[in-house]
Amino acid sequence: MQEVPFDPLQRAAEVESMVMRDGQRKYYRFRASRHYGGIVTADTIGCPFLCAYCWNYERNKCPEKEGEYYSTRDVVKKLTAIGRQKGIDLYRISGAEPILGQESFEHLLQVLEAGRFIIETNGLILGSQPHLVEHLKERNIAIRVSIKGWNGPSFEQLSGAKKEFFMFPLFALKQLIYQGIDTWPAVMGDLFGREGTERLTAQLEEMGIRTRIEAEYLERYPFVVSNLQHRGWKIGGGIR
């Protein structure tokens, strides 16, 4: 059982060693989904965060127990085969964080060969190692950075990671936008509310970032409601 709050960089390294092996990464499903108007999705496991609202919470809590290793070649083959069958030319990795460290980042770069890609990331590793962003330039990608709070305490409560790491995803966002990559932030609208979103907007503006913020909506699975309660989060309870 992961104690919270934890050091997410340490967790990223531990998780990467569980889900990567000789350049191969663990996945548990390949599918077409309706998001973004139709996208082919490779579902993976392993994340430096353990968000109270994560729909893949159990797999990400114990990534060593789940999934099978796939080479980048096999992932590209599977994605493009589904894409051809469904008439979709847009791809993503979901279910967990694609970038856990150097090895998973290199794996991702090769999987991008599938075609037009949306990278969904929590921004932790790109924010802590901004030089990686260089490798994402001039690729056929857009990047959605999921922001877990509007300040340190809300970030810690939602992500399970120590509040000192709150700024890392914002650094990633800034660097990605600065490098001219199509990037935008997303938040869990039901948990941020208007006030949390306004506070985040103010924080971003202070950093010179003016951008739209996508609002996601909470899937209120019983385990999600229970996880939020365990973290002391009152849904609709307002801002901390």
Provide Rg for the chain, Cα atoms: 17
Q: Which residues contact 119 (CB under 8 A, 6 or more apart)?
A: 92, 93, 98, 108, 136, 141, 142, 143, 144
Contacts 24+ apart (CB under 8 A), 134-137: 134/179, 135/105, 135/109, 136/176, 136/179, 136/181, 137/179, 137/180, 137/181
C-alpha span between 106 and 122 (Å, rounded): 17
For 34-112, strand residue ranges (E) read 39-44, 68-70, 91-94
The candidate with the shortest Cα–Cα distance to 44, out of 82, 98, 80, is 98
Tokens 């990567």 correspond to 20
**CB nearer to ligand SF4: pick between 51 and 76:** 51
For the chain, strand residue ranges (E) read 20-21, 24-33, 39-44, 68-70, 91-94, 117-121, 141-146, 183-188, 214-216
**CB nearer to ligand SF4: pick between 80 and 235:** 235
The residues binding ligand SF4 (CB under 6 A) are 47, 49-51, 54, 56, 60, 96-97, 122, 146
C-alpha span between 206 and 38 (Å, rounded): 35
**CB nearer to ligand SF4: pick between 39 and 50:** 50
**CB nearer to ligand SF4: pick between 50 and 204:** 50
The β-bridge partners of 184 are: 144
**CB nearer to ligand SF4: pick between 40 and 120:** 120
**CB nearer to ligand SF4: pick between 146 and 183:** 146
**CB nearer to ligand SF4: pick between 77 and 189:** 189
Neighbours of 84 (CB within 10 A): 11
